[in-house]
């Protein structure tokens, strides 16, 4: 479904992505792991068109999307849902308006139908009666769940999760993980999760990819990753301070 070929990106002379190659199959949960600052978020932002690569291609259902004109690229973005690390809720809109944002603009649903979908999306992430609250009135975990409700409201085919468990307590983090699994089961979405939380990684992943020094150094099922002979992968998944990774 998604094929990334030779993706390069540098910022101000610093090469962040140095030839990323990765394939993500329809309906799977691909977890991309890597150190903080290794370029995981940069990779995710390329998928949805928030960043343009310096070199390389991204194919979605066989169609190369990085060279599309702006409006067509935005059209591709509507196939995605994106859960931002800080939720990125629009702070001038209520929770309901945030969740309804994409529906109001890009679907033909009437007001009642939109309201029903908003309520349903919020209930799906375990929130009730928060429609009229402003984002500032929500806790960190609730914001994240509203962000997720906004991402799933117009039933995207692919959901990108940027550090879904970061900044919330372990119990909330696990409930978000359950939600991701539930969404995969119920909506059959393709998911790309970036994280450096190993508990979440092994709970969620159908496959895991490790990003290191701008490249994918290992891809495999959780069992394959656990058994990997790659020292970088072993050091990272076990969280050891000593090993081949020295730049931390």
Partner 1 sequence: MIRTPRIPVISPFFFQVGEAGLVAGRTFRALFQRPFEKRNFVLQLEDIGVRSLPVVSLTAAFGGLVFGLQAYIGFHKYVGSGTEVYSGSIIAVGLAKELIPILVGLMLAGRVGSSMAAEIGTMKITEQVDALTSLGADPIKHLVAPRMLASFIMFPMLTLYGDIIGTFCGFAYNIFGMGVNRAIYLRNTLFYTRIWDIGIGLIKASVFGIVVAIIGSWQGLRAEGGAEGVGLATTRAVVIASIIILILNFFLSKALPN
Q: Which residues would be at the binding site for partner 1 (CB under 8 A)?
A: 11, 45, 48-52, 54, 70-71, 74-75, 77-78, 80-82, 84-86, 88-91, 101-102, 105-106, 150-151
Do residues 129 and 137 make contact, with C-beta atoms less than 8 angstroms apart? no
Nearest to 99 by CA among 84, 114, 112: 114
Choose between 32 and 159: whose C-beta lies nearer to partner 1: 159
3-state secondary structure (DSSP) of residue 21: strand
Choose between 20 and 42: whose C-beta lies nearer to partner 1: 42
Choose between 74 and 227: whose C-beta lies nearer to partner 1: 74
Q: How far is the CB of 150 from partner 1 (least distance, A)?
A: 8
What whole-number distance in Å separates Cα of residue 94 and Cα of residue 92? 7
Q: How far is the CB of 190 from partner 1 (least distance, A)?
A: 16
Beta strands per DSSP E along the chain:
2-11, 14-24, 29-33, 55-60, 63-64, 80-83, 158-162, 190-195, 207-212, 215-220
Choose between 82 and 236: whose C-beta lies nearer to partner 1: 82
Place of tokens 């992943």: 205
Q: How far is the CB of 104 from partner 1 (least distance, A)?
A: 9
Place of tokens 């800080």: 86
Q: How far is the CB of 80 from partner 1 (least distance, A)?
A: 7
Q: How far is the CB of 85 from partner 1 (least distance, A)?
A: 8
Choose between 88 and 245: whose C-beta lies nearer to partner 1: 88
Within a 13 Å sphere around the CA of 154, how many CA atoms are in the beta-carbon half? 18
């Amino acid at each position: 479904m998604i094929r990334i070929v030779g993706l390069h990106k540098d910022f101000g002379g610093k090469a962040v992505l140095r030839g990323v190659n990765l394939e993500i199959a329809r309906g799977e949960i691909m977890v991309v792991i890597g150190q903080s600052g290794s370029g995981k978020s940069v990779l995710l932002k390329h998928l949805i068109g928030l960043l343009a690569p310096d070199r390389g291609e991204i194919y979605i259902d066989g169609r190369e999307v990085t060279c599309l004109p702006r409006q067509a690229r935005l059209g591709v973005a509507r196939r995605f849902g994106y859960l931002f690390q800080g939720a990125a809720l629009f702070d001038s809109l209520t929770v309901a308006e945030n969740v309804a944002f994409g529906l109001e603009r890009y679907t033909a649903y009437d007001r009642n139908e939109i309201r029903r979908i908003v309520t349903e999306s919020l209930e799906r992430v375990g929130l009730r009666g928060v429609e009229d609250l402003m984002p500032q009135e929500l806790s960190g975990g609730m914001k994240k769940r509203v962000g997720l409700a906004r991402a799933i409201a117009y039933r995207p085919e692919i959901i990108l999760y940027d550090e879904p468990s970061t900044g919330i307590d372990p119990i909330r983090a696990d409930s978000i993980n359950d939600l991701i699994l539930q969404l995969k089961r119920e909506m059959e979405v393709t998911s790309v999760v970036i994280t450096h939380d190993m508990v979440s990684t092994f709970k969620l992943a159908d496959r895991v990819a490790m990003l290191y020094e701008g490249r994918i150094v290992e891809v495999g099922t959780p069992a394959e990753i656990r058994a990997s002979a790659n020292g970088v992968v072993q050091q990272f998944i076990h969280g050891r301070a000593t090993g081949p990774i020295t730049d931390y």
